Structure 1
Amino acid sequence: MSAVKLKIAIQKSGRLYEDSTALLKECGIDLRNVKDRLKTESDNFPLEVFFLRDDDIPQYVEDGVADIGIVGENVLLEKNKKVSTIEKLGFGKCRLSIAIPRNQEYGGAESLEGKRIATSYPFLVSQYLANHNVTADIHEISGSVEIAPGIGLADVVADLVSSGSTLFMNGLKEVETILKSEAVLIQNNQLSEEQLQLLNTLLFRIRTVKKAKKNKYVLMNVPNEKLETVVSLLPGMRSPTILPLASTGWSSVHSVLSEAEFWDKIEQLKEAGAEGILVVPIEKMVL
């Protein structure tokens, strides 16, 4: 195995930890016991893993302490470090939103003029206000932002939202989205050629796993006289596989459907004559 290794920083706890470690495992990367560890190595891929606070990951990658990192876009943009985003990972989705007391009306960004805004994202909120020519008083809070209006600390909050239940429980309502965020893979801008080769290998595996999650393998039985209609509904990667069944006049059709069009296509396939439709998750998908 090459002496060159990639060093990756991931969240040591919190909403991205589980998905980040699961992604590495789905990429075939075995990690030694990661429980309560700050650093570990893979036994079958030249990768060293650092477990850090998410707020620190952009800085570590910029400084080259870590070569790459998995972090939320919200943290990445708030920290404003000189790193490159190389892949959106599709998990950890949330949004940074403006929320106000439920009994108030929202009149757009201009209604924030002169307000006190509590947030853990002062840089992003300042950018948003500047883009709308609004002047407001930003109170930076490291946690429990949603209680600020209730205790008189602020009039408005700008906080991360996923389901909105926390805002609701604190008498707030979401009125505007500043940023939509998900986990991203970032890299240091001065990697060596050997490190870039390793990164490309890792990216190939990540994209293979992502592609598989967005598609389903579908098998169905189709009367031969309806094959043409059914096949016309199946985009597939090239064309569907068609195999004769033991029953005369029937064939088994195998294809791949994207998650986005899956339910609509299944309904169309049933109407076209497909029966016994079997849907199988895809573990890896190499194109």
Structure 2
Amino acid sequence: MRDRLRIAVQKSGRLAEPARALLASCGYAWRETRDHLFCIGETMPIDLLLVRDDDIPGLLADGTCDLGIVGRNVLLERAGECVLAGAPAPFREWRGLGFGACKLALAVPQQWGEAQALALDGLRIATSYPALLTQWLDERGIAAEVVTLSGSVEIAPRLGKADAICDLVSSGATLAANQLRATDVLLESEAVLAGPVAPFGDARAEIAALLLRRFDAVLGLRDSKLLLFQAASCNVPALMALLPDAEQPTVMRVDGTDRVALQAVCRGAVTWQRLEDLKRAGADALLVVPVERMLA
């Protein structure tokens, strides 16, 4: 039973800084210990444990940490290992966090034709994600050999260790450098907030609920803008039809006229083209304002 929440985050790597930035945007501040392994929360009863990305699912499973910010690919690979071992995973994804996007994809040599790329039976496929690849192959009835490697997956075909690979792809530059091309996407991945399957039964439940509300508020405001403009009352329906991603607007009548002033939070990007479309539909005095915080 604990009255503080412990979150595992990546100590270094591509998810480390965005994870800390997200927590900071939620009003969270911390003091890092001298060994740079632990952060003590100062504004909220939340502490951070700084670890390797691959270690986070295990720390969730044994209860060392309550929550973790980890790549979906890592989380589902560890969950797949649990299933292959005959036990359900003791953790699950709570929220997608919208950063660290990548794909787990199958890739074959560039010189292969389409027919050869589709004929995977009997091939050796190198990967660092054997559980996810095995599941994908089994679902399609493909009898391929899974070659597990901990690194340097892209060069496996050139070394003769495999015929194809299954690995994370971001820009595709690494595949191109190794004369490979992606064919099938097994998983769309991003950073996620992971936690236990069962809810907390102590003070951590309230702290976690507060953190989730702030996450949802911050993530919901990404690319959001407050749009203000004036228009004749008769033009309002046509103008709102151009703002399908806007929340219910606030409408105020302009004294002594048949005009109204409107303000609405738009969840999508408010581009110059959208402003021009609104202008042609009868809006004027258009103003776009960034939204820093909003709590529903």
Per the normalisation by structure 1, the TM-score is 0.88
Change (3 A) 1:5 1:137: same
1:239 aligns to what?
Answer: 249
Change (3 A) 1:229 1:133: closer
Matched, 1:45 2:44: yes
Matched, 1:201 2:210: yes
Change (3 A) 1:113 1:234: closer
2:83 aligns to what?
Answer: none
Shift of 1:61: 0.6
Shift of 1:116: 1.3
Shift of 1:169: 1.6
- Give, in whole Å, the separation in 2 of the partners of 1:218 and 1:35: 46
1:25 aligns to what?
Answer: 24
Change (3 A) 1:33 1:158: same
Write the letter of the residue equivalent to 2:53: D
- Give, in whole Å, the separation in 2 of the partners of 1:154 and 1:243: 70
Write the letter of the residue equivalent to 1:184: V
1:159 aligns to what?
Answer: 167
Change (3 A) 1:123 1:227: closer
Shift of 1:228: 5.1
- Give, in whole Å, the separation in 1 of the partners of 2:114 and 2:138: 19
**Does the 8 A contact of 1:10 with 1:20 survive in 2?**
yes
Across the two proteins, how many residue pairs are aligned to each other? 284
Instruction: Tell me the SS of whatever aligns to 2:31.
Output: coil
**Does the 8 A contact of 2:225 with 2:269 survive in 1?**
no
Shift of 1:124: 0.6
- Give, in whole Å, the separation in 2 of the partners of 1:207 and 1:227: 30
Shift of 1:122: 0.7
**Any unmatched runs of 5+ in structure 2?**
80-88
Matched, 1:9 2:8: yes
**Any unmatched runs of 5+ in structure 1?**
none
Structure 1 stretch 137-146 or stretch 60-69: which is displaced more? 137-146
Matched, 1:229 2:228: no
1:285 aligns to what?
Answer: 294
- Give, in whole Å, the separation in 1 of the partners of 2:131 and 2:273: 42
**Does the 8 A contact of 2:32 with 2:40 survive in 1?**
no
**Does the 8 A contact of 1:32 with 1:42 survive in 2?**
yes
Shift of 1:91: 1.4
Instruction: Tell me the SS of whatever aligns to 1:213.
Output: coil
- Percent of matched pairs sharing the same residue: 39
What does the per-residue CA deviation read over 1:111-156, in whole Å, with 9 as the maximum and x for residues that have no partner?
1111111111011111111111112222212222112112222110
Shift of 1:176: 0.6
Change (3 A) 1:228 1:84: closer
Write the letter of the residue equivalent to 2:204: Q
Per the normalisation by structure 2, the TM-score is 0.86
- Give, in whole Å, the separation in 2 of the partners of 1:267 and 1:138: 54
Instruction: Tell me the SS of whatever aligns to 2:203.
Output: helix
1:103 aligns to what?
Answer: 111
Write the letter of the residue equivalent to 1:218: L
Shift of 1:23: 0.7
> Any residues of structure 2 matched to 1:58-69 within 5 Å, and which?
58-69=57-68
